[in-house]
């Protein structure tokens, strides 16, 4: 029935278009633009080949209101009023709204929603890579309740994977690519007596060693070392461990620019905590730059096997919480630039 209705709707649309020249508004600029858009949509060819690569781009905090404000801002930066502006992600052939919630929270957090995106299940707020049977903060409830992330699944398929975020790499959304934890806050340490899991930062380097994560760039350096400014209390330097595994370590714009793009793994940690807001960014790469570098590295290593990449604009949400619209729209524009970069570097022939 739904198929029949869809075909009927297209037929009706085509019939209306055919009669458009007889209408009083036929020469109205808005009407002409709409007819041109309709003709372009009807002429599009459906791309039916199997995708080689998958890139999941997430703007944490980009609700309908934020998206609208960001559209106006971006359009005004281009010299218009903004109403007519189309952001890169709004130009994709398929768009949808998604209802989000955790099993124990109507307003979800990034740990539960990150797990939903990366593992395909709903779970509780505050826990990552585990199902709803886990009790938050209780390590004893972890065994038997972990779930596989898409990064693990893609690795089993022979693909390479990476994560890029303007938040800490141990923060909820990027951590959902590799971590299994009963509490999202176990970033640099777990409570005494918790033997069932490791802290999130250690899990990231474990994932790099296992070949599950090939590229990881974002903030959160403090969680990876015990030196001055570090959060680790176990004396372990995870950065040195990653370098020992053959990864290139980047900590500023220069070391990022110097990172090889030949498939060598990259660990980029550009701030002690989250990366700077786009409005304040200095001596560290933009989200678009990190996205482009990740695509180059993963493509070089994966070849015809393909890759999966998670990209997060993590600070849109932080600026929203702070009520700072100026930083919201600028970080969202940086996200849009990353979307455009990914689209340009991996565009389908029919796009």
Every domain of the chain and the residues it spans: 2-43, 54-346
Instruction: Please give the pLDDT value at position 14.
Output: 56
Confidence band for 46, pLDDT divided at 50, 70 and 90: confident
Superfamily of domain 54-346: Alkaline Phosphatase, subunit A (3.40.720.10)
| Region of residue 275 (phi > 0: left; psi between -120 and 50: alpha; otherwise: beta) | beta
Instruction: Please give the pLDDT value at position 7.
Output: 47
Phi, then psi, of 47 in degrees rounded to 5: -85, 115
pLDDT tens digits for 253-300? 999 999 999 999 999 999 999 999 999 999 999 999 999 999 999 999
Instruction: Please give the pLDDT value at position 45.
Output: 86
User: Is the pLDDT at 122 greater than 80, yes or no?
Assistant: yes
> What's the angle, vertex CA 105, arms to CA 104 and CA 108, rounded to 5?
125
Instruction: Please give the pLDDT value at position 8.
Output: 47
Question: What residues form the annotated binding site?
Answer: 60, 171, 173, 312, 317, 321
Side-chain-side CA neighbours of 308 within 13 Å: the count stands at 19
Strand partners, 219: 168
Q: Name every residue whose Cβ is closer than 8 Å to that of residue 347 and which is 6 or more positions away in sequence.
A: none
- List the strands of the sheet with 160-168, edge to edge: 54-59, 307-313, 160-168, 215-219, 266-269, 248-250
Provide the whole-model pTM.
0.91
Question: Do 187 and 217 touch, CB atoms closer than 8 A?
Answer: no
Question: Do 212 and 187 touch, CB atoms closer than 8 A?
Answer: no
Phi, then psi, of 24 in degrees rounded to 5: -60, -30
Strand partners, 249: 267
Does 110 participate in catalysis according to the annotation? yes
Question: Do 175 and 219 touch, CB atoms closer than 8 A?
Answer: no
User: Is the pLDDT at 351 greater than 60, yes or no?
Assistant: no
Question: Do 147 and 202 touch, CB atoms closer than 8 A?
Answer: no
Confidence band for 48, pLDDT divided at 50, 70 and 90: confident
Report the pLDDT averaged over residues 72-87: 97
> Which residue in 59, 70, 110, 165 is the catalytic one?
110
User: Is the pLDDT at 116 greater than 90, yes or no?
Assistant: yes
Instruction: Please give the pLDDT value at position 10.
Output: 52
Confidence band for 22, pLDDT divided at 50, 70 and 90: confident
Instruction: Please give the pLDDT value at position 211.
Output: 98
- Sign, Cα dihedral of 27, 32, 38, 41: positive
Instruction: Please give the pLDDT value at position 348.
Output: 63
pLDDT: is 263 or 13 the higher one? 263
193: tokens are 């007596």
Question: What residues form the annotated binding site for Zn(2+)?
Answer: 60, 317, 321
- Rounded distance between C-alpha atoms, residue 91 and residue 277, angstroms: 25
Confidence band for 12, pLDDT divided at 50, 70 and 90: low
pLDDT tens digits for 320-338? 999 999 999 999 999 999 9
Report the pLDDT averaged over residues 129-146: 99
pLDDT tens digits for 220-262? 999 999 999 999 999 999 999 999 999 999 999 999 999 999 9
Report the pLDDT averaged over residues 87-108: 94
Strands 266-269 and 215-219 come out as: parallel
Report the candidate in 296, 284, 127 with the shortest Cα–Cα distance to residue 218. Answer: 284
């Amino acid at each position: 029935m739904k198929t029949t209705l869809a075909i009927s709707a297209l037929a009706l649309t085509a019939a209306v278009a055919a009669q458009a020249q007889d209408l009083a508004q036929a020469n109205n600029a808005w009407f002409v633009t709409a007819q041109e858009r309709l003709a372009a949509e009807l002429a599009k060819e459906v791309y039916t080949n199997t995708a080689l690569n998958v890139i999941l781009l997430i703007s944490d905090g980009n609700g309908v209101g934020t998206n609208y404000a960001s559209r106006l801002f971006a359009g005004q930066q281009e010299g218009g009023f903004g109403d007519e502006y189309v952001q890169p992600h709004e130009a994709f052939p398929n768009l949808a709204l998604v209802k989000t919630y955790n099993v124990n929270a109507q307003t979800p957090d990034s740990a539960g929603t990150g797990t939903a995106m990366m593992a395909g299940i709903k779970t509780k707020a505050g826990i990552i890579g585990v199902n709803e049977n886990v009790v938050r903060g209780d390590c004893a409830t972890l065994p038997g309740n972990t779930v596989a992330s898409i990064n693990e699944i893609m690795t089993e398929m022979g693909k390479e994977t990476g994560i890029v975020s303007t938040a800490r790499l141990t923060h909820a959304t990027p951590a959902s690519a590799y971590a299994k934890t009963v509490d999202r806050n176990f970033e640099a340490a777990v409570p005494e007596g918790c033997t069932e899991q490791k802290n999130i930062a250690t899990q990231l380097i474990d994932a790099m060693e296992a070949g599950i994560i090939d590229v990881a760039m974002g903030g959160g350096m403090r969680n990876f070392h015990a030196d001055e400014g570090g959060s680790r209390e176990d004396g372990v330097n995870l950065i040195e461990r990653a370098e020992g595994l053959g990864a290139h370590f980047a900590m500023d714009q220069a070391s990022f620019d110097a990172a090889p793009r030949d498939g060598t793994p990259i660990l980029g940690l550009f701030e002690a905590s989250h990366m700077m807001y786009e409005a304040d960014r200095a001596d560290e790469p933009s989200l678009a730059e990190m996205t482009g570098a990740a695509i180059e590295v993963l493509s070089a290593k994966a070849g015809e096997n393909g890759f999966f990449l998670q990209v997060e604009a993590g600070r849109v949400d932080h600026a929203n919480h702070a009520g700072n619209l100026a930083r919201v729209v600028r970080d969202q524009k940086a996200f849009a630039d990353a979307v455009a970069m990914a689209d340009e570097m991996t565009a389908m022939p029919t796009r």
